[in-house]
Structure 1
Amino acid sequence: MVSKVECSSVIILLICLLKIENIRAQCTKPSFGENRVLTPESYSKESFPEGSTAEFQCATGYVTALPGASKTVTCTGGRWSDLTLQCKKRSCGPLGDIPSGRYTYSPEGDEGLLLGAIATPECDKGYVLTGNNRTCTVKGWDDRDAICEEVNCEPPPPTVPENGKPTEPLEDVYKYQTVITYSCNEGYVLSGHDSISCLETGQFETPPKCIKLSCGVLEVDPNAMTTGARPPYSLGSLVTFVCKTGFTMEGASELKCVESGWSSSPPRCIELQTTTTTRPPTPRTTRPTTKELQTTTTTTTTREPAPKITMPTTKGGVLRKYKSWSAH
């Protein structure tokens, strides 16, 4: 017969075994990636025994990608079931148009409207931007809408250009691409364009200059001659210098009337230095002396004397022929 003490021991052992098995069947706190998180209720639980469930939701800045997907998982045999909930970045949507401007998004495409994307404002040419880049946050686009304001230019100083003036009175402010036209005083001519425009930078182009119509009188070297333009010399006149014979030029041979005056100083004519050339002595021709003539070999040719012919004489009325030769 089993005693009461033995029964009690068996009961206690069974209870302990059941508790041990129950501990083994519990699950740890589940996690399925940073964009899917436990609900506050499930996150506050300290234990997840066999058969218990845990509920998930999308993290801040993310939304459900598959409507109707299950948000709960179950602890079975110490392991969690698969979570079918899928989450994606929330979209901030496109920003409204900026008058005389636009937004560009980074990254490009659909990603440029999702959480973390950046919208950069840009203005049309002739407009200046007031505003900053905007970022897609969990609450939507941050910051305020940018503004594109038309460029304005302040007028140039009224004293510019020297010896000239605007054709019309200057205004306080000029809009983008507005034009100011200039003219020069009598005796001066414009150098450059006669008008300037208000640029997109908010500054006017450089005004033209007014220069004198002519250059001063040239100082010509007394040993030089000039060709080309004659006084008075207008802008662009060309004068060419030539030195007289026996002189060489020092300086530019051609001068031009430019905005700042003559292109260079008039040249000088320097006299050439004469030099004496010494020739080598001419060889003297002399007649041979008597002694030299005596030593000269001469050749004498002796001819044989011609036969001597005597005229025939008549004796007794008979013509006789005689032939005689001189002795050798």
Structure 2
Amino acid sequence: MTDAFLGSAVTYSCNEGYRLIGKDQRRCEISGKTVRWSGDVPICQNIPCLPPPDIPHGRHSGTFTSDFVYGSVVTYRCDKGYTLVGEDFIYCTTKDEKNGEWSGPAPECQKTGKQCSYPPAIANGKHSGQGRVFTIGTSVTYSCDPGYTLMGRAQINCTASKFWTDPIPHCKVSSAGCRVPEVWHGKISDLKPAYSPGETLLVECDPGYTLKSTQEAQCQDDGTWAPAVPICEPGSHTIVPQVLGTLGAALLFVLLAVIGRIICWKKDGKCHANANTPPNAADTTKQEFSSVL
């Protein structure tokens, strides 16, 4: 603000990670024989967090730090013989722009050995346990890629014996599929002999034809295509020449027929209307064409 008049007001705010201490607004007012701003100038203070929680059989990087403010990060590590379960770090954040809190709960340190090995991978599928530690009692869920069906139970559990429950499911090609569609005045890019649910096809139209709808269609679980297989239609720039060409040929045929009927040969000053061949030169002294218009 460069100029302020009596009654003017200013509002204060703090940058991200800071909280305002004091009133956020001041006014230009009369005080005795002078004009001054009301109240005191507020201050901006770092938003603080309480010390991060300690964890049994582990420690964090902020052990020797006394103040934790907005943006502070601490990482956790476990003692030898223990495995970290959960995110290895938390950070100081805020929800109300006044009070700080940690981004999440602290991880845990569990004794190594009380867990299952990494869940078995399956062909054409995956499980939900990517990048985790699998302690006793935890479970993972399997799912298949598009075009495949899960055979067996989707969920397996880590048992007290530190083995996964049997059997492990597997993915099988879906019995349902989509027939290869017929595309008039076009072709299918990278044509396959068959399409499984989830697979897509692309249609390209022949020169002079354009797509009526989207270029892509996807095979559905019920054996249908969605959206419908694209259709190639004649483009507007090709219809006109075709029409004009047809009309032109018809008009030319009619014109030639009319001209053929009205052309005659003159012989001895007389017009012979049905003269498909001209008279012999020996029989005439003078020949000329005359058209009746």
Rg: which structure is higher?
A: 1
Higher strand share: 2
Give the TM-score normalised by structure 1.
Answer: 0.31
More relative contact order, 1 or 2 (CA 8 Å, 6+ apart): 2
